[in-house]
Amino acid sequence: MTHLVQLNDSPLALDDPALLSATSYGHFTSMQVRDGKVRGLDLHLERLDRSSRELFGHGVAPDRILTYLRTALASSPSADLSLRVNAFTRDRSFLDGTPVEPDLLLTVTDPIEPTTRSPRLLAVEHERAAPHLKHTGTFSLTHELRRARLAGYDDAVFYDRAGHISEASVWNICFATEDRIVWPAADVLPGITMLSLRAALDVARETVDIPLTALGDYRAAYLTNSIDPALPVASITTSAGTTEYKPDPESAGLIADAYLRIPWQEI
């Protein structure tokens, strides 16, 4: 039994101290809410349900999620906010295969504005565990981000053991040629913005292996997530050297137009 939870030198009020350990195993989704609406809301709901079935053997009904989202929104001083939903359980019977309906922990913070600076990325070999899940095991992502910044870069971009680009710390990545947008075929988290952009793009798009040696074959590279739908990459540095990317208004415009076509959905 836990008798005390203390933050620095002060006791921390928790109705259930088991929350601290329970939230280390689970998954989450994060969304930017504007005027009470979210782009790709249906995909966020599907992600929470699908991932819960895989991790806990029990899904989460969309109506339940929406009820909680609406409660959080009604309690917020603004309809513009950032919202994170964590799914976890304090019921350890899921370890033995018993289906357990997860708890949902909602966190509301101020809205996050898009990044204004094109990042310089350091390529590092890294493969996430269960990359198809947006799980809470994000230690390695933050660790590689920190290491990249200590080395003088803005962030890390990952490549797998075969030397193929996959994703960045908190973003998907895509590349532009003269006539198409290309996404890595390596195992990555299927980000909500990435999925939405793929469906909305008018230009040809494809998923292919992108070896480190082919980075110079592309006109531009973009990071995508719910905060930055098309953040131009300034450069990617590998052990063989640095590939610089110049601004490419054509491909940037294609992605920006596709993003604007993604409909807002009311919570």
**What are 242-267's pLDDT values in tens digits?**
999 999 999 999 999 999 999 999 99
Mean pLDDT of 37-52: 98
Show the tokens assigned to 183.
């996404």
Percent pLDDT > 90 in the chain is: 89
- Same domain? For 139 and 67 the reply is no
What are the contacts of 215-220 at 24+ separation with CB within 8 A?
215/165, 215/243, 216/243, 217/177, 218/175, 218/176, 218/177, 218/182, 218/245, 219/176, 219/177, 219/178, 219/245, 219/248, 219/251, 220/175, 220/176, 220/245, 220/246, 220/247, 220/248, 220/251, 220/252
Contact between residue 231 and residue 119 where contact means Cβ atoms under 8 Å apart: yes
What average pLDDT score do residues 8-35 get? 84
State the total domains in the chain: 2
Q: What one-letter code names the amino acid at 124?
A: V
More confident residue, 98 or 202: 98
**Average pLDDT in the 54-70 region?**
97
Q: Are residues 157 and 225 in the same domain?
A: yes
What pLDDT is attached to residue 204?
81
Provide the 3-class DSSP secondary structure of residue 94. Answer: helix
- Based on the domain organization, do 139 and 256 belong to the same domain? yes
pLDDT, mean of residues 138-158: 97
Query: Are 103 and 133 found together in one domain?
Result: no
Do 124 and 189 lie in one domain? The reply is yes
**pLDDT for the residue 5:** 67
| pLDDT band, residue 14 (cuts 50/70/90) | confident
Mean per-residue pLDDT for 118-123?
98
CA-wise closest residue to 157 among 214, 238, 245: 238
Domain for residue 199, yes or no? yes
Is 80 exceeded by the pLDDT of residue 22? no
Token output for 19? 């929350």
Q: Are residues 62 and 185 in the same domain?
A: no
Q: Quote the domain boundaries for residue 161.
A: 120-262
Mean pLDDT of the chain: 94
Query: Are residue 154 and residue 32 in the same domain, yes or no?
Result: no
Number of CB atoms found within 10 A of residue 222's CB? 25
Confidence of residue 70 (pLDDT cuts 50, 70, 90): very high
Same domain flag for 94 and 62: yes
In-domain check, residue 53: yes
Give residue 31's pLDDT band: very low, low, confident or very high (50, 70, 90): very high
Instruction: Calculate mean pLDDT across residues 128-145.
Output: 96
Lowest mean pLDDT among 28-32, 45-49, 184-188, 204-208: 204-208
In a domain, 1, yes or no: no
CA distance 226 to 131: 18
Say yes or no: 156 and 230 in one domain: yes
pLDDT of 160 = 98
SS3 content of the chain, % helix, strand, coil (to 5): 30, 30, 40
CATH of the domain at 203: 3.20.10.10
The answer to which of 20-29, 90-99, 137-146, 241-250 has the lowest mean pLDDT is 20-29
Does residue 171 lie within any of the structural domains? yes
Mean pLDDT of 194-216: 94
